[in-house]
Structure 1
Amino acid sequence: MDEGWTLAETQRFNLFINGQETPAQAGETLDSFDPVTGAPWASIARARAADVDAAVIAASDALANPAWRDISASDRGALMRRVGDLILENAERLATLEVRDNGKLMAEMLGQLRYIPQYYYYYGGLADKVEGAVIPTEKTGMFVYTEHEPIGVVAAITPWNSPLLLTTWKLAPALAAGCTVVIKPSEHASTSMIEFAKLFTEAGFPPGVVNVLTGYGDEVGAPLVAHPKVNRVAFTGGEVGGKAVYKAAAERLKGVSLELGGKSPNIICADADIEQVVKGAVSGIFAATGQTCMAGSRVLVHESIHDAFVARLVDFIAEARVGDPTDPKTQIGPVATKDQLRKVLSYVDIATSEGAHLAFGGKQLTDIGTGNGWFVEPTVFTNVTNDMRVAQEEIFGPVLSVIKFSDDDEAIRIANDTPYGLAAAVWTNDVARAFKFTKALEAGTVWVNAYRVVSYTTPFGGFKNSGLGREGGQEMIKEYLQTKSVYVNLGKTTPNPFVLG
């Protein structure tokens, strides 16, 4: 157990290839910055194309290694359950690294780390439930069946906001299917991934099954996606990066799953309970400092309760405690990077210039800690129309746009009027209205009287520009399998070779 574990002031993290930590071949490193102080706290290996090749070859060799290739599905599941146990044992240590890298609340990261093992238990249980079929056929004398085989080496490219959770969404089903994986975490949040990968070796996974490459997207992600031995790419990140991955994967006809951005509507009907919906709105946008793909960054409020809702919302977030994410009393932490801070503040200016009313926040906070951290006030804009940039573009920060609507049909029209379709929510006490919204909303996940609920049992993914494919649920394991059809001639004669039978 890691109870009482503390983090040293300076850390160095290498790549993880073929079951071992190794420096980048060129010997280069890059800094990881603490969002609370704005200062570097660790160095990570800066991989390049040669390291990508080494990691992919290790994964390819592991795929052919009898120690992994010939292991029974039941034993593969047992390994996954073991790694789930180890993640739980090391949850505090891994969460501490994530907080130091991305500035999210310790309460959230530790909660995630204690939940992540459930994915390995779940998919470990599914590993030996993959079944082929015997197929009746009109071909006399032929015995025909199908079997499912691992698709091969998987490249998993993950973002900085919830590194281990979003990696697990890809890694757990891929391993259950018998694939091997090369993980490329964000350069802004890599440290926890190296320590995470070591647990797979400790659990008994053969070398090369799980590998980690750290570094920049153009130097690592691009050659990883293009590598001829990579068979599938699973990506979570921004729309621009997703399109680049999709284009590169298409050059070699590789399968992809893309979980991209969102501009999700949180719809509040006239009959909703104000106290509950305020909590739901805050949870949707401010609980993770707005740094989540499913953030409810647009709140659509019925005009009859708009003013009361805004007044209660502003009072509620005015009491929110912004500060050190390791402090249990903190409710909102910093944004993860300096560039993200600049982006958030730039959208405050954009919204104001377009005529939105700044109802709360909008400023950088320089009175926390060293004064150099990347803290920004939770920000609320009213008088927003859905054609404004603040309502159409993903900000990925604690900025909420409040938009009025007059009836259900208008709410649905506004909700669907963005390029994205990742998530949505509706708050109402009317069951018929709830079902009307869930049917009409163009989103991969819709919540009723809730927000930010996900489960390993349930598919998650987006419509429109929010991506392709799904992660989670029983069906996900099939994304990492390929089907083989087998014909066995039980007859005594060979058919005429010039007639296709």
Structure 2
Amino acid sequence: MPSVEEALPRHKGIFYGGSWRDPVSPSWVEIIAPATGKVLTTTMQASASDVPLAVAAARNGFDVWRGVPPLERAGILREMARLVRNHAREFALLDAHNCGSPLRHLDYEADRCGFVLEYFAGLVTEMKGHSVPQGFDSISFSVREPYGVVARIAASNHPLLFTVGKAAAVLAAGNSIVIKPPHQAPLSALRSAEIFDGLLPPGVFNVLTGGREVGAALASDPGVAMVGLVGGSDAGRSVLHAAADTIKRTIMELSGKNALIALPDADPERVAAGMVRGMNYTWCGQSMSSPTRAFVHADICDAVLARLPAHLAKVRPGLPEDPQTTMGSLIDRTAFEKVKSYIAIGIEEGAKLIYGGHPPTDPALSTGYFMLPTIFADVTMNMRIARDEIFGPVQAVLKWTDEAEMLRQVNELEFGLSCSVWTRDVTRAHRIVSRVEAGFCWINEASRHAQGSPFGGYKQSGLGREECLEELLAFTQEKNIIIGLGS
């Protein structure tokens, strides 16, 4: 098994046009391991000056790639999947140390990434147009064509999935891609560029490291036809503003302040287990679909709260390569300080802290950005911990009795990504789900994704749907053609 040092990318620059290059104005940044605070490596960081060069190279790549027959493109995506799986342990080590996540839970992410590549490879023949009857004298039909250069801006909680995985539909549709990995965690994206080098035509797969400046430049560059983003709603608004001048298409997965709704007939033990599982503590709660607001009916609220500690005690923060670790660290000091500040705000506003609220006491974790699972009870919707996206391991429990008022509170925020409903009554479950303003819902389940099912949010939680055929079609545009058949 390789060490993380052996898995590190060999190249420190940026990759576009089929070549590794130094940025126009090279600046070196330290890549920190958030579980220890130590420097993993250093890489060069691009700036806005590099964007036009990368986009021009991507345009040249697109001109070749769009002409590759769909089934041939599919074969290349399947080869990408094979390479990802062959290097699964390297990717797992990189993301584990670059993000502070448990290594034991990351091997499957490379496999899932491979599956996503294979899934969209299998859909290439579904990019179909349609025909419209016109009589004997003409025929009207449509075809689907790729947009051109697509920019993908990734978040830090799942770097491999949000860079290579999110490239799958883009490439299957015949577009070229410029990936901007998260500035805190660029290593798996850089390593993927090394592994894929020579497999795709030059300029089809490109990686630009960098911060917000690079993302903004990609969103505003006239050579970029479409932008995909996984990030916060503030970042979404910035991308939309930058894309407005050239009326770019966008697809976005954005912030969530999601509700878990427990009805009075729900089993308190199952609700408590679902609350813990849904919070994605493996990633230290850094998941936009986590149910950070738990609306628990008054009849079972005390019973649920009483059962939570037993489930939370099984969540073990630790270093990435420790096989006992089940919970990782926050991504960086900024995230750590934000979570700390919201815990203090919750206490100050009168919420009752019933679990966690501080870093673990293990001295081995003292230099990392760890925080225990944190649960507040007696929360009301006028508190900031019930309204703001914290993006960390903090869950607010709100007791309810009136269904209409509870649903009003669930829906009153500007977010609408996901919702989890717990009950034995399937009729009531469907009634609740039909009134919830969220794009992805579970009944007696939480957090699980299902490839092929459309994932995306309502309101300010995103635009478009991903992980399904609709994602592939979103990266195509429809052209209609009328042929006159008259003499």
Pick the TM interval, shorter chain.
over 0.9
What per-residue deviation string (whole Å, max 9, x for no partner) do you get for residues 92-125 of structure 1? 1111101111112223322221111111111101
- Which segment is superposed worse, 229-238 or 277-286? 277-286
Alpha-carbon separation, structure 2, partners of 1:131 and 1:258: 24
Residue 131 in 1 paired to residue 128 in 2? yes
Question: Aligned letter for 1:377?
Answer: L
Question: Aligned letter for 2:450?
Answer: S
| Residue 370 of structure 1, CA deviation | 5.8
Give TM-score scaled by structure 2 length: 0.96
Q: Which residue of 2 aligns with 1:118?
A: 115
Q: Which residue of 2 aligns with 1:245?
A: 239
* 8 Å Cα contact 1:77-1:128 kept in structure 2: no
Question: Aligned letter for 2:78?
Answer: R
Alpha-carbon separation, structure 1, partners of 2:103 and 2:293: 26
Evaluate the alpha carbon distance shift between residue 314 and residue 417 of structure 1 in structure 2; reply closer, same or farther with a 3 A threshold.
farther
* 8 Å Cα contact 1:118-1:456 kept in structure 2: no
Q: Which residue of 2 aligns with 1:53?
A: 52
Alpha-carbon separation, structure 2, partners of 1:105 and 1:491: 68
What per-residue deviation string (whole Å, max 9, x for no partner) do you get for residues 143-184 of structure 1? 322111101100000110111212345311111110000001
Q: Which residue of 2 aligns with 1:309?
A: 304
* 8 Å Cα contact 2:319-2:365 kept in structure 1: no
Alpha-carbon separation, structure 1, partners of 2:43 and 2:259: 38
SS of corresponding position for 2:420? strand
Q: Which residue of 2 aligns with 1:282?
A: 276
Give the alignment partner of residue 167 of structure 2, picking from 156, 166, 171: 171
Q: Which residue of 1 aligns with 2:371?
A: 376
* 8 Å Cα contact 2:113-2:165 kept in structure 1: no
Residue 201 in 1 paired to residue 200 in 2? no
Note the 1:230-379 alignment, pairs <5 A: 230-285=224-279, 286-365=281-360, 367-369=362-364, 371-379=366-374
Question: Aligned letter for 2:221?
Answer: H
| Residue 484 of structure 1, CA deviation | 1.2
Residue 421 in 1 paired to residue 420 in 2? no
* 8 Å Cα contact 1:267-1:426 kept in structure 2: yes
| Residue 231 of structure 1, CA deviation | 0.1
Q: Which residue of 1 aligns with 2:429?
A: 434
SS of corresponding position for 1:400? strand
| Residue 17 of structure 1, CA deviation | 1.1
Note the 1:76-95 alignment, pairs <5 A: 76-95=73-92
Alpha-carbon separation, structure 2, partners of 1:91 and 1:268: 38
| Residue 410 of structure 1, CA deviation | 3.4
Alpha-carbon separation, structure 2, partners of 1:125 and 1:376: 41
Alpha-carbon separation, structure 1, partners of 2:382 and 2:365: 39
- Which segment is superposed worse, 157-166 or 315-324? 315-324
| Residue 335 of structure 1, CA deviation | 0.7
| Residue 434 of structure 1, CA deviation | 1.3
Question: Aligned letter for 1:258?
Answer: M
Q: Which residue of 2 aligns with 1:403?
A: 398
SS of corresponding position for 2:109? helix
SS of corresponding position for 1:31? strand
Alpha-carbon separation, structure 1, partners of 2:376 and 2:140: 62
- Which segment is superposed worse, 96-105 or 410-419? 410-419
Give TM-score scaled by structure 1 length: 0.93
Q: Which residue of 2 aligns with 1:148?
A: 144
Q: Which residue of 2 aligns with 1:496?
A: none
- How many percent identity over aligned positions? 36
| Residue 407 of structure 1, CA deviation | 4.0
* 8 Å Cα contact 2:260-2:420 kept in structure 1: yes
Alpha-carbon separation, structure 2, partners of 1:113 and 1:395: 27
Aligned residues: 484
Give the alignment partner of residue 177 of structure 2, picking from 164, 175, 181: 181
* 8 Å Cα contact 1:134-1:145 kept in structure 2: yes
Alpha-carbon separation, structure 2, partners of 1:458 and 1:93: 29
Note the 1:11-30 alignment, pairs <5 A: 13-30=12-29
Q: Which residue of 2 aligns with 1:497?
A: none
* 8 Å Cα contact 2:27-2:46 kept in structure 1: yes
SS of corresponding position for 1:247? helix
Alpha-carbon separation, structure 1, partners of 2:363 and 2:286: 20
SS of corresponding position for 1:233? strand
Question: Aligned letter for 2:81?
Answer: G
Gaps of 5+ in 2: none
- Which segment is superposed worse, 316-325 or 461-470? 316-325
* 8 Å Cα contact 1:434-1:448 kept in structure 2: yes
Alpha-carbon separation, structure 1, partners of 2:363 and 2:485: 77
Alpha-carbon separation, structure 2, partners of 1:319 and 1:153: 46
| Residue 421 of structure 1, CA deviation | 0.3
SS of corresponding position for 1:304? helix
The structure that has the greater radius of gyration is 1
What per-residue deviation string (whole Å, max 9, x for no partner) do you get for residues 277-304 of structure 1? 2221111112321100101111111111
SS of corresponding position for 2:477? strand
Alpha-carbon separation, structure 2, partners of 1:312 and 1:297: 17
Question: Aligned letter for 2:243?
Answer: A
Considering only aligned residues, what root-mean-square deviation do their CA atoms show, in Å?
A: 1.7
* 8 Å Cα contact 1:85-1:117 kept in structure 2: yes
Question: Aligned letter for 2:358?
Answer: K
